[in-house]
A and B are shown apart, each in its own frame.
Chain A
Amino acid sequence: MRNIIRVARREYIETVKTWTFILGLVVVPVVLGGLILFGDRLGPDQNASRAPIRVGVTNPSAELLAKIQAVFEEYNKSHPRGPVALVEVDGDEPAEQQGKQMLRQDRLDACVAFEGDLEGGQGEMRFYTYKLKSSEIDALWTVERLIRDAIISRRYETRGLDRAIVQAITSVATERIELGEEQGQERVQDQNHQMARMMIPFAFMYLIFIGIVGMGQHLVSSIIEEKNSRIIEVLLSVVSPFRLMAGKIMGLAAVGLTVVALWGVMGYTIARWQGIKIDISGDLIAYGLVYYVLGFLLFSAVLAGVGSICNTLKETQSLLMPIMLIFVVPIMAGVKLVQSPNGDLARVLSFVPPTTPMVMILRLSSGSEIWTGEVVLSIVVLAAGVLATLWAAAKIFRTGILMYGKRPGPREIARWLFER
């Protein structure tokens, strides 16, 4: 046991003091935090200047055309650097055809064709574009909104209704307030805050994922390094293969815990600072630890087995690809899982060992009621999966780690599994 700890300690120290690790530890939260804090500034820049968007409209009534003109002018007053311009569609062809032709000749950026009695509530409007640039999409949505607004205004006018009155009737002022634990502690929340709260379970799951999968990469490269630099035989003359593997896994699990704890604390601090309340109970931390450790053992046992039979990182990557896909399922299904943490998908994935830790943490942190029996059962299933994988990995590791050159085939590996 002492040697397992010694191997683990070396693994921990040697991993933690590398530059790549320290960089990753700092850079990831800084980038993520930056995105959260300054994300709104990274969105479409309202002040950036761009050429006017040229819009042609066909077959409007004189009133509608005047309304559109008025709406555009209003808009241009508040957005002088990104204006919209109404361009006359003229030519020998029917108006709609002519408009399309002008689009193709790059004399227009958008062409809007009206059909039927739009102002009376019938008919439709067709919005034509040609070779749409992604940078223009946002502006074109604005144009669409402005024209729709002009049509709605015309509809009020033709019915003799005052739009201001209707607006006064339909708008209901709302304030979203989250109560604090103490009396009188209240905080107004906007929609972004509520979105952020929805993402919390996802953040927990992501932390576990990074802790497990991110550290796994270190494990593989450490095994490959020992194999390639021929340290392995020297090591095996001092510690047994199982202890070596156990020590490595323990050391890197500790590294992973350090990362998860640091990032967790950072995330929590940022969230609190932004006024997002996160409930972290002792139970959640305890479950988090159990699921993390078991999940890490499972993943790293797989990696140790795979790493031991490969000679280069490239080889391991191609072998790990299909395995990684299983571990990534909860991340891909994240939104669905957050929306229904007790749905069928979440329940099924809770009992598939590679996805259990992430899905269970997501469900537990989502605040929904989960029957304790389900939690216990998922831990039992996961633990059984871990034991089986560790057993197989130890067998493969023992022989694979000393093999150089050709990678063994499935049959050979199966033979190792049932060797004495």
Chain B
Amino acid sequence: MYGFLGPNGAGKTTTLRMVMDIIRPDSGTLRLFGQAASCVPRSRIGYMPEERGLYRKMTVSAVLAYFASLKGVAGAELRTHVAQWLERIALAEHANRKVEELSRGMHQKLQFAVTVINSPDLVILDEPFSGLDPVNQDLLRQIITEMRDAGKTVLFSTHVMHEAERLCDFLVLINRGRVVVDGTLDEIRRGHDSHTVSVELEDDGEFVRTLPLVQEVRPEGRRLEMRLRDGADPQELLRTLVARTRVRAFETKQPSLHEIFVRLVGAGDAEHH
């Protein structure tokens, strides 16, 4: 499961459209499954774009069957696939209703089923959870996880960082069309350790401001948040604190993906301006 992140206008949709051969790159090449992207049969990829829609006047099952047939599913297999997926996304009882009669959440689930009905090897989902209630979000998450476990690659593009943090094994962040960072969540976190420590001391801790290890101190309720200088060891700080006063709590903080995102994108933009 691969998270594809970036701020608005970073080039995510453009990249995905190039992957789908909907638009062609001005320069450079794009390879998928070891061959040029334009040579890969479209049926091997399922794409759920952010700008999405379905034929409003067609029935739910007809839409599903139409897209499945365009993706090469035919005959008896077509019927069973449609029936299975309608069951899976809990729309079986709405099979004969027109798409325009569906709620937004149902529409979204149908769109998802359209994307994956032929079990493609690569599934690209652009903001798949937007518009879904928590129950349906769980359903989708479960299906996506099953697809990953079945050996499919899921590439998923989102703004919602905690979603990416929760689901993705591997992440790539782009800004202004370029990769800013990529790797597993742990790798990225390690590379962007914020050197932040949160402590709760018995006294007011005024002395910590004078410590050479500490760059910045910020009160956070009863705690103090300290940013350490580059290369400073939190263990050494702990020893220093214990020597001077009683330490009630000591925590080294891992930066969240959100923080890393804001920091990287903000830095990139500042550089650009």
Q: Give chain A's interface residues, CB within 8 Å of chain B.
A: 3, 6-7, 10, 14, 18, 226, 229-231, 233-241, 399, 402, 420
| Interface membership of chain B positions 74-108, coded 1 if the CB is closer than 8 angstroms to chain A and 0 otherwise | 00000000000000000000000000000000000
Contacts of B57 in A (CB 8 A): 14, 18
Given contacts A231-B55, A402-B22, contact A238 B49 (CB under 8 A): no
B178 part of interface (Cβ distance < 8 Å): no
Residue among B24, B49, B114 with most chain A CB within 10 A: B49
**Contact status A238-B42, CB under 8 Å:** yes
| Known A-B contacts A3-B70, A6-B69; A233 and B49 likewise in contact (beta carbons under 8 Å) | yes
Q: Report whether A231 and B53 are in contact in the complex, using a CB–CB cutoff of 8 Å.
A: yes
Residues of chain B contacted by A226 (CB below 8 angstroms): 53
State the CA gap A380–B66 with chains docked (Å).
37
- Distance in angstroms from B217 CB to nearest chain A CB is 49
Q: Which residues of the partner chain A approach B22 to less than 8 Å between Cβ atoms?
A: 233, 236-237, 241, 402
Name the A residues within 8 Å of B271 (CB-CB): none
Q: Is B12 an interface residue (CB 8 A)?
A: no
Q: Is the CB of A229 within 8 A of B20?
A: no
Interface size class of B (residues with CB under 8 A): 20 to 34
Interface of A is mostly: helix
**B111 interface hit (Cβ, 8 Å):** yes
Shortest CB distance B182–A (Å): 24
Q: Is the CB of B52 within 8 A of A233?
A: yes
| Contact (Cβ within 8 A) A231 B54 | yes
Within the complex, which residue of A7, A234, A241 is in contact with B49, where a contact is CB–CB below 8 Å? A234
Whether A237 lies near B47 (C-beta < 8 A) is: yes
**B58 adjacent to chain A (CB < 8 Å):** yes
- A3-B70, A6-B70, A239-B42 as given contacts; A234 in contact with B54, CB under 8 Å: yes
Q: Report yes or no: B66 in contact with A6, Cβ–Cβ below 8 A.
A: yes
Q: Which 4 A-B pairs have the closest CB atoms?
A: A230-B53, A237-B47, A229-B53, A233-B49
Report B1-36 residues with CB < 8 Å from chain A CB: 17, 20-24
With contacts A7-B70, A229-B56 known, what are 16 further pairs, Cβ within 8 A? Answer: A18-B57, A229-B54, A230-B53, A231-B52, A231-B53, A231-B54, A233-B51, A234-B52, A234-B53, A237-B20, A237-B46, A237-B49, A238-B43, A240-B42, A402-B17, A402-B23
Instruction: Map CB proximity to A onto B147-163 as digits: 1 under 8 Å, 0 otherwise.
Output: 00000000000000000
A230 touches B51 (CB 8 A): yes
In the complex, which residue of chain B has the Cβ closest to the Cβ of A239? B70
| Listed A/B pairs (25) with beta-carbon separation below 8 Å | A3-B70, A10-B66, A14-B57, A229-B53, A231-B52, A231-B54, A233-B22, A233-B49, A234-B47, A234-B48, A234-B49, A234-B52, A234-B53, A234-B114, A236-B22, A237-B20, A237-B22, A237-B47, A237-B49, A238-B43, A239-B70, A240-B21, A399-B23, A402-B17, A402-B22
Contacts of A231 in B (CB 8 A): 52-55
**Bound form: Cα–Cα A14–B56 in Å:** 11
List the A side residues contacting B111 at CB < 8 Å. 234
Please give me the residue from chain A that is nearest to B43 by CB atom: A238
Alpha-carbon distance between A230 and B49 when the two chains are bound, in angstroms: 9
A146 CB to nearest B CB, Å: 63
Residues of B within 8 A of A237 (CB): 20, 22, 42, 45-47, 49
Distance between Cα atoms of A229 and B66 in the complex (Å):
17
Chain A CB within 10 A, most for which of B24, B42, B114 = B42
Give complex CA distance A10, B68 in Å.
13
Interface contact A14-B55, CB-CB below 8 Å: yes
Q: Which residues of B contact A229 (CB under 8 A)?
A: 53-56
Q: Which residues of B contact A236 (CB under 8 A)?
A: 20, 22
Q: What is the bound-complex CA distance between A88 and B46, given in angstroms?
A: 93
Shortest Cβ gap from B28 to chain A (Å): 13
| CB of A358 to closest CB in B, whole Å | 32
- The answer, yes or no, to whether B109 is at the interface (CB within 8 Å) is no
Residues in A with CB closer than 8 Å to B45 are: 237
Cα–Cα distance between A420 and B24 once the two chains are bound (Å):
9
Q: Does B67 contact A (CB under 8 A)?
A: yes
Q: Is B195 an interface residue (CB 8 A)?
A: no
Q: How far is the CB of B22 from chain A (nearest CB, A)?
A: 5
Chain B residues in 8 Å Cβ range of A235:
70
